[in-house]
Amino acid sequence: MLHRSGACSGLRKCDHHVVARQRSDRRFAFAGAQFIEACREPAAIRQLVLDSVRKESADGFDELIGQVRARITRWPFYVLIRGLSFDEGNKVFVAINRAFGELVARPYEKPRAQLVHYVEPSTDLPSVRGGHESERLHTDTADWETPVELISMVCVRADPRGGGRSRALDIDSIRDEVNACLGTDFLSLLETEAVPWQLAPYFGGGVKWRPVLNDSTVCWRRYTIDLEMLNALAAFEDVIGRTDRTSDFLMREGELLFSDNHRTIHARTPISDLENSSRLMIRSWIRTS
């Protein structure tokens, strides 16, 4: 069952970091299935995979899903899970994700145009300010009409030099920091003033107007906002970039992270030897509504 574990020692906010260790008699170990191709098929096939994994794991699967679902609704709005076993065909990963909703992807533009993303340093978008966009706190799919609700990510290989540490900042901390550093008027402006988000060309382009913050959600991705609006939001970006309330942790092989994409922003730390790094994460976007 899921529990707090001493295994999280050394992580920022250790007493709040949610860690799970699956019982040794309920290991999710499944060999082989050729699922990378299958996961591009209709949702009915992914449902069959979910049903198969649920049947093989008895009540352990439903217990895991129930615990994650309950915990991710509470601060800090992400859940780190340790002790699971994953297969090379991603059957278990997809089945766990499917239990929370429908896996979604870009209609084209590989490597993101598939339901299981292989995230390597070489696939990260470069930033005009140096480094990579993934190193700056953001939400995913901010350039969609409605951003996805849930992100899942499993670590296949960590960077051998300890780079690419995961960072997360929750909506409550964002609001507190903005209020403390910029004042209630600025916080109110972020909640009430709609921002023009440039929608992705692969969905037809255009603009979607929505606030950066409201009482319970955040939307933030710098490169999807026009330059004039970015200048107005420079103070906000500075506050979230330098707060010490951001969680920071290194995901290890086999660890699974779920994060609420509407209530957290996330990033990774820089990787020193980008060309030779073997870091590999597998990620999915999940539509829960």
pLDDT tens digits, 239-279: 999 999 999 999 999 999 999 999 999 999 999 888 889 99
Determine whether 12 is exposed, middle or buried from the number of CB atoms within 10 Å of its CB (0-12, 13-18, 19+): middle
Mean per-residue pLDDT, 154-179? 96
- Of the chain, the percentage scoring pLDDT greater than 70 comes to 76
55: its two tokens: 């049947």
Task: Please report, for residues 189, 242, 280, the alpha-carbon distance to residue 186 in angstroms, rounded to integers and kept in the order given.
Answer: 5, 18, 39
SS3 275: helix
Please name which of 84, 256, 250, 86 lies closest in space to residue 155, comparing C-alpha atoms: 256
pLDDT value at 181 more than 90: yes
* Domains in the chain with CATH codes: 28-289 (3.60.130.10)
CB 113 within 8 A of CB 59: no
Average pLDDT of the chain, as a whole number: 81
pLDDT at residue 153 greater than cutoff 90: yes
What pLDDT, on a 0 to 100 scale, did the predictor assign at position 174? 98
Instruction: Give the residue, 275 or 128, on which the prediction is more confident.
Output: 275
pLDDT tens-digit map of 45-76: 566 666 666 666 666 888 889 999 999 999 99
Task: Give pLDDT tens digits for 188-241.
Answer: 999 999 988 899 998 899 999 999 999 999 999 876 676 777 777 889 999 999
Contact predicate 82/26, CB 8 Å = no
User: Which tokens hold the place of 243?
Assistant: 């707060």
pLDDT of residue 17: 43
**C-alpha distance from residue 39 to each of 30, 42, 100, 103, 256 (Å):** 16, 8, 16, 9, 19
Asked whether 53 and 92 are in contact (CB, 8 A), the reply is: yes
Alpha helices per DSSP H over the chain: 35-38, 43-56, 59-71, 91-98, 171-182, 184-192, 227-232, 234-242
Predicted model pTM = 0.80
Q: Which residue type, as a one-letter code, is found at position 107?
A: P
Q: Is the peptide bond before 126 cis (omega within 30 degrees of 0)?
A: no
Rounded to an integer, the average pLDDT of 166-177 is 98
Give the percent of the chain with pLDDT over 90. Answer: 55
